[in-house]
Every structure is written in C-alpha cells, then in structure tokens.
Structure 1
Amino acid sequence: MQGLSTSLVLIAALAVVAPIITRLLDPLVKVPIVVFEIVLGILLGPSLLGWIQSTPFTDTLADFGLAMLFFVAGNEIDFAAIRGRPISRASAGWIISLAAGIGAGFILAPAPEAAVIIGVALCSTALGTLLPIIRDAGEIKSPIGIAVAALGAVGEFGPLIAISLFLSGKQLGVASAVLLGFVLLTGVAIFLASRSRHTLFHAQVTRTLHTSSQFAMRSIMLILSTLVVLSMVLGLDMLLGAFAAGVLWKVTIARAPQEDRRVIETKIDAVAFGFLVPVFFIDTGIDFHLGALTSNPATLALLPLFLVMLLVIRGLPSLLAAPSGSTRSDKRALLLFGATGLPIIVAVTAIGQDHGFITSGIASALVGAGMLSVLLFPLLALRQLQRNGRPETSNDFPAGSSPHRTEQASDGGLPPSDPSPTGA
C-alpha cells in the first residue's frame, strides 16, 4: 500500500513538472510534452533512480489513458475534410508502409509474430500528437494540414485493424469475420447517430453542462466503455473500440449548439490531458527497459535504425497524400509528419512483450525511436513549412490539448447541414 501511495504521488508530481519544463524550454526548442513525461518516468523508474514502481492500479490507469488518447483521436478527425483524394491516397501509402514494415520485420526477427509487431509499429502515425501541432501552426485547414489529418487517421486506425487481424490469437478467417462484425455494428451505430437530430439528448446536455449531473461526460464514458468492452469481448484490441467511440461521439454531438460543443471539448481535454493521458506516458517511461536497450551494442544500434526506418517505411509512402501543387518543402514536411509515431508503437510493443513475441530490447528500441520521432520530426517539419513563408507559432500543447481546439468545436466538426460522417 505504501508503494502504491508513493507511486501515485510521484506520478502526479511528474505530470505537473512536465508542462513546466516544456514552458521553460519553449523559447529555445519546442519539445512535445509527451517526451518529458516519458523521460521523467524513465528517470524516476526502475531503470535509473528506482523511486517509482509500476503497480496494477497505475497500469490500469495507464490503460484508461491510452484508451482516452485514441478516443480523442477519433473525435478530432474531420471526415468531411479528408474524404476523397486525401483519405484514398493516405490509405494507399499506409498499405505500402505495412507491407514494407512487415518485410523489414522478417529481416530483423524471422518469427512471423515478431515481424508483424515490428511492421505495425513502423507503419503508424501519431494523429493525437500531430493534430494539435498543425492546428497551433495555423495549418489545420490548409491542404497540408488536411493531408496530415488523413495520414494520421489511417496511420492510427490501420494499425489497429492489423493488430486485430494478426495478433488476436485467432485464425485469420475467424479474426476477419469478428472484425467485420465489429465494424458493421459500430458503422450502423455511427450511421444512425449521424441521421438523428438528438433533440432530447442535446437538451439534456445543455441543461446539465454546468451542473454536477454532467450528462455529456457521463454519456462519453458510457460510449467509450461500451465499445472498449465490446472490442475486448470479441477478442479485438481495446483501442479499436476507443477509436470508434470517438467517432461515434463526434457524430452524436455534431448538431448540438456551438457553445455546448466548445465546453464539452474543454471537459474532454481536462479528463484526457489533465489526468489520464499523462499517467499513460509516465507509466510508459516507468516500464521502459533502459538496461535492455543499452546492455548490448547491437540492440542499441537498433534505435537509430528504427528511426531511419520510420522515415523510409512510413515517411516516403506518406508522400502519396501530398496535395496537388505541393512544394518540395511541403513534401519534406509531410514526410516528417507521416513518420511521427509513438502511441501505437507503445501499444503494439506491449502486446509483443506480453505474449513473448519480441524481446524487451527490441521493444525498447522501437519505443525509443518513437520518442525521438515525436521529439525531432514535427519540429523539423514545421521549419520546412516556414520556408514557404508561413509564420512561426507557439506550440504550447503539442501532445494533447490545445487552446485552439475551440475552433474545431465550432467549425471543425460535422456541419449541421451535412452531419453524415462520410468516410467513417
């Protein structure tokens, strides 16, 4: 009990320290806050100081944080903006990335399961990290911003599909049938939600928005828990249910008053990025096996190798989504944005370690490469965009919420005149 109490207090303290460090370093270099959260977890975790130990309770909170991160990702996608050419080009690029990633996985680890783990990790894109960054840079409505959103949507949803198909422990045919059933169920729910006006539901949301009833947030928890549990019962990855829950909530609340949607987005940010998501990233650092990464020079060499592979395997195919008329700087920025990945890498390597598919050294090298991609690639991508005359902007909340999310609440959701989530 004493160990649990100490861990909880220290995790909470690190969650407070991380944004302070981010703010202090902001004039010098814009580092996503998730990097500091993970690094602080490594520093105080068993790998170095040993002040914090993972417990079943903190691991459960971290799982909730990961689910909430993918809920937010599903909720933030503007399907009306990315439908058509952006999503089709991004999907084609992701399929190439998956094939190339699994091929590279077979070279590094001949076991089929290990190859799939590595391939899925290398074909991911961190949508939840990138959307706030491009929004703060004023690119959310630009062709490049739309392309990045399409890349991120496919780069998070696609790997979840691959995990459910290849890592569920079922035969491929059975896994495909189960996945199809889940997609049909959630697709019908999303379609029905998009066609209904939800007048009584929105009225209840408005009445309780500033009371202890908090009907909107309770509804979000119900939708999230229902789809997460459904996905787990079906033997699918829980993150697939979390992502679908975000999409379902988006279409359900799309016709609500603009001010109500803005307030709800703020509340979602508070729960996700003020509480659960930091626990997930700090816990990732606590569980990071630094010793497994540094004890063997060959394993340590995998870290820069995986970083380069992210650029080649995920970044280069991302260029298929480049808008017409893109400059060379735009394409370089898109390559870097597409190669930015971390949450899926953390999730899939955890699955690999739990089932004994990959070693802790390979998992640590993949997570380390994901951390470096989040640290380096968005910063370099923004500099490429600035070469085209775009102004430099502050990136205060690069890994989660942003003050500018209120803009999306008003004009980035599904418009009242066309609530159908085309492409969902």
Structure 2
Amino acid sequence: MTHPGTLVLITGAAVLAPLLVFAVGRRVRVPLVIFEIALGILIGPDVLGWAHTDEVTDALADLGLSMLIFLAGYEIEFAAVRGDTLRRSLWSWLVSLGLGIGLAFLVSGGDVFEAFVIGTALTSTALGTVLPMLRDSGELKGRFGTVMSAFGAVGEFGPVVAVALLLSGRRPAESAALLAGFGVITAVAVLWALRPRPPWFGRLAERTLHSSAQFAVRFVMLLLACMLGLAEVFGLDVLLGAFAAGVLTRIILHRAAPAASGEVLGKVEAMGFGFLVPLFYVVTGIEFDLDALIHDPVALLLVPVFLLLVLLVRGGPVFALAPKDLGSRDRTALALFASTCLPLVVAITTIGVDQELLASEEAASLVGAAMISVLVLPLLAARLRSADRGAGRAARARPAPEAVDDSESW
C-alpha cells in the first residue's frame, strides 16, 4: 500500500507544473514535461527526499506510459504519411538506427545490449511535443507539417518496434516471428476496424457522451486493455500494444462515430494528460538518478555527448533524406524538430534499467540530453520557420519592378 502523502505530492507536482508553464510563458516557452520531471526530481530522494516510489505508483506510472504511447498512436494520420515522403522517412529512420547502434557500440565499450538501448533511444522523435507547435503556428496542414508528421510518425513507431525486437531478451529470429504474429493479428483488427460499424454503435456513443454509461470511452479502454494483453501474450513490450491500440481507436471512432470522435478523444485525453501521463513524468523525475549525474563526471560529460549524438544520428539522416522540394532552412528545421526526443527516451531507458541492460548513470545522461533537446531544438526550429515565413511575406509584399518600355531604343 502506498503512503497517501506520496500520491498527494505527485498530483500536487502535476498541478503545479502547468502553473509554472504559464508563469514563465511570457519570457520563454518551456514544455510542460520539463517542469513535471523537474518537480519530480525536486521532491524525490536526491533533493528534498519527500517522495519515494512503490508498487502502486510504479503501476500507475506504467499505465501512464501506456496512455502516452496510445495517444501518440492516435495522433498519426496515415492518410498524410504515404508515398515518397513516407519512403524517405522510413529510410531516414533505418539509417538512424544503424548509425545509432554503431555509435552507441563505441560509447558502451562493446556491450551489444547496452548499444541496442542507447542506439534505439537516439532515433526517437517526440511527435506529441512538436505537433502542437506546428498546430499553433498554422503549419500542421501545410507541406512542412505533412512532412514533419511523416518523419515524426516513423520516429514514434520505429523505436517501439525496435524495442520489441531488440530488447525482448530473445533471439532476434524468435522476436521477429512473434512480432510478425502480432502484426498479422493487428492487421486483421485494422481490417475489422475499417468495416462499416452498425448504426447503433454511433448512436449509443453519442447518446452516452454525457451520461454515466460513457460507452465510447469504455470501449476505448477495452481496446487498449486488449492490445496491451495481446502484446503481453506474445511476449512483446506493452508499448507496441498501446501504439497499435491508438491507431485502431482512431480508425474506429472516425468511421463509427465521426460526430462524437473529437469529444470522446477529449475525454480520453483528460484521463491521460490530466492524471496518468503527468504521474508517469513526475515518477520519472522521482526515480531520476540526479546524485549519480552530479557526482559522476563521466555521466555529466555524457549529457552534451548524447545531445550531439541525437543531432547526428536522428537529425543527420532526416536532413539528408528530406523531400527535395524543401529548402535548406526547412530541412534544417525538419532535422531539429525530428531530433526532439524525450517521452520514448524515458520509456526506453526505463526498460533498459529494469532489465539491467543500462546503468542508471547512463540512463540519467540520456534523459538529461533529451530534456535539453525538448527545451532548445523546437525553439531553434520554430525560429527558422518564422524567419522563412517572414521572408516569404516580405517577398510577396514587395512591389514588382516596373516593366521597362524599350521599344523606342530601337
């Protein structure tokens, strides 16, 4: 049984975090997740020593991580991520994975499994952090937003699959066979989701939106539980099941209850971002090994090293393989956005530490680098984009040069 004061402290930190975001928002834009993790570190054992995790908080944090990945899967619009852009995003991620594991192999001193953990973490993209910025600037539906959605979607989905393959503790062939089986069942579920739903489904979803029945929300939770259970049965990481559940939920709600889908998602997001997801981040801060990071010069030195590796491993291939119609500034902004990584870095390093494949000091260094990436890289990318938009507006506003009538010169 958890101490009631621990949950009070965790939820109190979750409430304080958005207040701090709004307090500093006039001067600098700091992502909410930074404050959630920082407050967790503050109340954790390495600073104030007020909060300690236990089985209950760990279980809730695991559920929060599943909800985070579920919502990431829901965000992806597969209609927008296809064709040449999708092929380029896939190839860029595969190059990132090979480059990341190769460089991590050198950093880890030849430890293969540690290299898998570090290399996979270096290839992720925090799509949930980047998309709201593009939505606020009105670019999400434009060309740049579409390309970023494709590269970000692969940056979310690729590491989840890699975790299932590389960090399952089995031989790669066995993991691949189990992953293929999971994929077949998921594909069948997608085909089922694409079929027209009976009319009563949509009517019942709309009729119970504001009642205690909440049919659609309960159905979404059932779908999430089923996909988590399916991943568990196949011996795969539950992150894969959570991601698949998000994809399936989007298809079902948009086809069966299009009028209510937005409100249903809002209710699910309220559960996720209102309680479970911030709890996961605050618990991550509580478990963050700040003492090791501060007192270990090597771990502290690894923070900027990992940040440079993120830019090289993730940003380099994205810049090189971005669609040809993007200019160099847009390609740079795309690479910076794609290199923004925190949620999956936290998840992957947590798995690595739990399986004793990664030392807590290295996990702290990776998470520290990812926190800096969320703080700095999107702001740099946004400035590049705003500068381009300003230049474009100036060019459009500039009067065209008057035509010269040189007929009399003849």
Could you tell me the TM-score, scaled by structure 1's length? 0.89
**Greater mean alpha carbon deviation, residues 252-261 or residues 16-25:** 252-261
* Pair 297,175 (structure 1): closer, same or farther in 2 beyond 3 Å: same
Q: Give the aligned partner of residue 231 of structure 1.
A: 231
Q: Give the aligned partner of residue 69 of structure 2.
A: 70
Q: Give the aligned partner of residue 369 of structure 1.
A: 369
Q: Give the aligned partner of residue 313 of structure 2.
A: 313
Q: Give the aligned partner of residue 144 of structure 1.
A: 144
Q: Give the aligned partner of residue 95 of structure 1.
A: 94
Matches within 5 A, 1:371-410: 371-389=371-389
1:80 and 2:82 correspond: no
Offset from partner CA, 1:279-322 (integer Å, 9 cap, x none):
01111100000111121212210000000110110011112453
Per the TM alignment, residue 329 of structure 1 is displaced from its structure 2 partner at its CA by 2.0
Per the TM alignment, residue 323 of structure 1 is displaced from its structure 2 partner at its CA by 3.5
Q: Give the aligned partner of residue 28 of structure 1.
A: 27
Q: Which amino acid aligns with 2:11?
A: A
d(CA) in 1 for partners of 2:353 and 2:321?
33
Q: Give the aligned partner of residue 113 of structure 1.
A: 113
d(CA) in 2 for partners of 1:325 and 1:244?
32
Contact 1:206 1:260 in 2 (8 A): yes
Per the TM alignment, residue 278 of structure 1 is displaced from its structure 2 partner at its CA by 0.4
1:54 and 2:48 correspond: no
Per the TM alignment, residue 157 of structure 1 is displaced from its structure 2 partner at its CA by 1.0
d(CA) in 2 for partners of 1:209 and 1:322?
42
Matches within 5 A, 1:332-371: 332-371=332-371
Q: Give the aligned partner of residue 191 of structure 1.
A: 191
d(CA) in 2 for partners of 1:87 and 1:22?
34
Contact 1:7 1:52 in 2 (8 A): yes
Q: Give the aligned partner of residue 268 of structure 2.
A: 268
Contact 2:330 2:385 in 1 (8 A): yes
d(CA) in 1 for partners of 2:345 and 2:165?
17
d(CA) in 2 for partners of 1:315 and 1:122?
10
Alignment RMSD, CA only?
Answer: 1.4
d(CA) in 2 for partners of 1:337 and 1:4?
40
Per the TM alignment, residue 257 of structure 1 is displaced from its structure 2 partner at its CA by 4.9
d(CA) in 2 for partners of 1:259 and 1:15?
32
Per the TM alignment, residue 199 of structure 1 is displaced from its structure 2 partner at its CA by 2.2
Q: Give the aligned partner of residue 401 of structure 1.
A: none
Q: Residue 81 of structure 1: SS of its match in structure 2?
A: coil
Mark the runs of 5 or more structure 1 residues left unpaired by the alignment: 392-424
Offset from partner CA, 1:32-78 (integer Å, 9 cap, x none):
10000000100111111111111111111111111111111111111
The alignment covers a number of residue pairs equal to 390
Q: Give the aligned partner of residue 201 of structure 1.
A: 201
Per the TM alignment, residue 197 of structure 1 is displaced from its structure 2 partner at its CA by 3.4
d(CA) in 1 for partners of 2:65 and 2:295?
29
Q: Give the aligned partner of residue 419 of structure 1.
A: none
d(CA) in 2 for partners of 1:341 and 1:318?
14
Contact 1:143 1:323 in 2 (8 A): no
**Greater mean alpha carbon deviation, residues 282-291 or residues 202-211:** 202-211
Contact 1:293 1:300 in 2 (8 A): yes
Q: Give the aligned partner of residue 394 of structure 2.
A: none
Contact 1:70 1:128 in 2 (8 A): no
Per the TM alignment, residue 198 of structure 1 is displaced from its structure 2 partner at its CA by 3.9
Contact 1:86 1:321 in 2 (8 A): no
d(CA) in 2 for partners of 1:343 and 1:28?
25
**Greater mean alpha carbon deviation, residues 353-362 or residues 272-281:** 353-362
**Which portions of structure 1, spanning 4 or more consecutive aligned residues, are displaced by more than 3 angstroms?**
256-259
Q: Give the aligned partner of residue 417 of structure 1.
A: none
Per the TM alignment, residue 15 of structure 1 is displaced from its structure 2 partner at its CA by 0.8
Contact 2:196 2:256 in 1 (8 A): no
Q: Residue 138 of structure 2: SS of its match in structure 1?
A: coil
d(CA) in 2 for partners of 1:293 and 1:176?
36
d(CA) in 2 for partners of 1:122 and 1:278?
23
The higher radius of gyration belongs to 2
Q: Give the aligned partner of residue 211 of structure 1.
A: 211
Q: Give the aligned partner of residue 128 of structure 1.
A: 128
Per the TM alignment, residue 332 of structure 1 is displaced from its structure 2 partner at its CA by 1.4
d(CA) in 2 for partners of 1:299 and 1:74?
33
Mark the runs of 5 or more structure 2 residues left unpaired by the alignment: 392-410
d(CA) in 1 for partners of 2:198 and 2:382?
40
Q: Residue 188 of structure 2: SS of its match in structure 1?
A: helix
Contact 1:329 1:387 in 2 (8 A): no
Q: Give the aligned partner of residue 249 of structure 2.
A: 249
Q: Give the aligned partner of residue 103 of structure 2.
A: 104
Name which structure has the greater RCO, CA cutoff 8 Å, separation 6+.
1
Per the TM alignment, residue 325 of structure 1 is displaced from its structure 2 partner at its CA by 2.5
Offset from partner CA, 1:67-125 (integer Å, 9 cap, x none):
11111111111100111122111110000000011001110111110010010010111
Q: Give the aligned partner of residue 422 of structure 1.
A: none
d(CA) in 2 for partners of 1:248 and 1:362?
35
* Pair 234,256 (structure 1): closer, same or farther in 2 beyond 3 Å: closer
1:171 and 2:171 correspond: yes
d(CA) in 2 for partners of 1:335 and 1:348?
21
Contact 2:194 2:255 in 1 (8 A): no
Per the TM alignment, residue 258 of structure 1 is displaced from its structure 2 partner at its CA by 4.3
**Greater mean alpha carbon deviation, residues 125-134 or residues 110-119:** 125-134
Q: Give the aligned partner of residue 405 of structure 1.
A: none
Offset from partner CA, 1:366-389 (integer Å, 9 cap, x none):
011111111111111111100112
